[in-house]
Amino acid sequence: MGSIQALRGTRDILPEEIGYWQKVESVAHDILSRAAYQEIRTPIFEQTSLFERGIGEATDVVGKEMYTFKDRGNRSITLRPEGTAGVVRAFIEHGLAAQGGVQRLWYGGPMFRYERPQAGRQRQFHQIGVEVLGSPSPRADTEVIAIATQILQTLGLKNLHLNLNSIGDSEDRQNYREALIAYLTPFKSELDPDSQDRLTRNPLRILDSKDERTQEILQAAPSILDYLNPDSKTRFEQVQQQLTSLGIPYEVNPRLVRGLDYYTHTVFEIQSDDLGAQATVCAGGRYDGLVAQLGGPDTPAVGWAIGLERLILLLQQLQPVTPENIDFYVVSRGEPAEAQALVLAQTLRQRGFSVELDLSGSAFGKQFKRADRSGAAACFILGDAEAETQTVQLKWLATGKQEAIAQSSLISLTESLRQQIADSRAGVTGGSR
């Protein structure tokens, strides 16, 4: 019988890779908490209608990509394809709007879309995202963009481009929509099939088409920027001025529309030169209509999501992230020594050290080899002689210096051991894992 494998489009993240994930998570967490964002965790599945109403039925996500199924109670359930709809549902359900002021939230976790798997595109993938609810200020738009930029920069990423656009308010967009349909209709038969289909249902999405002929036709299409009313225009200019004052470079791209229906005014994407076809690492924008659309009070909002798989592909090109070295490796052989070693390792951990206990029972020589490979600063050794005298050998792996210590004196040596580990790490220039 064949063994069972992970489903297509899903991946195991193994220990050798987990360092990248933990680094991204800790950098993001740190930056977000310093900007007063609080974490929110919402369920991974929701009622299907939340996404239909929140994301829009004419989008790719809702139209073709959702993992939707009937549960045993015959309810239609969907694995969340993105984070915003669930956060907004929670915001409404728990009356967070009534707390007044601005809510700065962030989330992280797996998302699910039925797409063709390829590099940087999976069926279960991960995002970290932010949502700022309750502020109509363009400064909120700029703040979230600045935070995304700070996270990516802190991780050391280069060759990133911020693409920026405004898609105005719903009236601007309605006017533009009509102009775009009027322009494209004479070319209808030359558009790619998807775009033909979108011409009436979701014409702005045609701007996103990858088809060459469609893109050629779009060259002379009207620009959304010519359809912004004075207020929308001012907002967009303010965001640009604020980005400039923060020293964040950007490029205005009037073709940039986002895949989800709920966006208004500012939309943006951060793309990398180093990712091939799936270049967008971070995407977001303002969505002033969504909270009301989902039955809540009128609440302006802005947010983004970073795709972690793509981010980690970039990090892996940059620098190896290795696990932290442990402090001590404990080697023992013979029954009484092994019993004492178990206690010794636990005592050291309780004193705050990181400790790996060799469980193999193999010859000392083999255990010493593993100690060397472990990256530990020092090795504790217990054999029959040590067990008998309630002592332990402590060997510093960088220098080979070795001393015998009474097991009972270990606790009083804690500070001195800590200092010696720091000294030995400072003196070691390589050779550890």
Nearer to ligand ATP, 132 or 344 (CB): 132
80 is a site residue for ligand ATP (CB under 6 A): no
Nearer to ligand ATP, 104 or 113 (CB): 113
78 is a site residue for ligand ATP (CB under 6 A): no
Stretch that binds ligand ATP, among 34-42, 199-207, 302-310, 318-326 (CB under 6 A): 302-310
Q: How many residues bind ligand ATP (CB under 6 A)?
A: 17
Decide: 157 and 315 in contact? Cβ < 8 Å. Answer: yes
**Contact characters 254-273, ligand ATP, x per CB under 6 A:** -----x--------------
Nearer to ligand ATP, 144 or 283 (CB): 283
283 is a site residue for ligand ATP (CB under 6 A): yes
d(CA 266, CA 255): 13
286 is a site residue for ligand ATP (CB under 6 A): no
**Contact characters 92-131, ligand ATP, x per CB under 6 A:** ---------------------x-x----xxx--x-x----
φ, ψ of residue 428 to 5 degrees: the values are -80, 130
Reading phi first (left if > 0) and then psi (alpha if -120 to 50, else beta), residue 136 is in: alpha
Residues 6 or more apart in contact with residue 269 via CB below 8 angstroms: 162, 163, 256, 258, 280, 282, 283
Nearer to ligand ATP, 261 or 358 (CB): 261
* Closest distance of CB 357 from ligand ATP, Å: 39
Tokens 């009027």 label which residue? 182
Question: Shortest CA distance to 204 belongs to which of 178, 233, 243?
Answer: 178
Decide: 347 and 310 in contact? Cβ < 8 Å. Answer: no
d(CA 404, CA 387): 12
The three-state DSSP-derived secondary structure of 6-17 is: CCCCCCCCCHHH
305 is a site residue for ligand ATP (CB under 6 A): yes
Q: Which residue is nearest to ligand ATP (CB)?
A: 307
Q: How many residues does the chain have?
A: 433
23 is a site residue for ligand ATP (CB under 6 A): no
Which residues ranging from 25 to 54 are in contact with ligand ATP (CB under 6 A)? none
Decide: 272 and 158 in contact? Cβ < 8 Å. Answer: no
Q: Please report, as ranges, the residues that interact with ligand ATP according to CB under 6 A.
A: 82, 113, 115, 120-122, 125, 127, 259, 278, 280-281, 283, 305, 307, 309-310
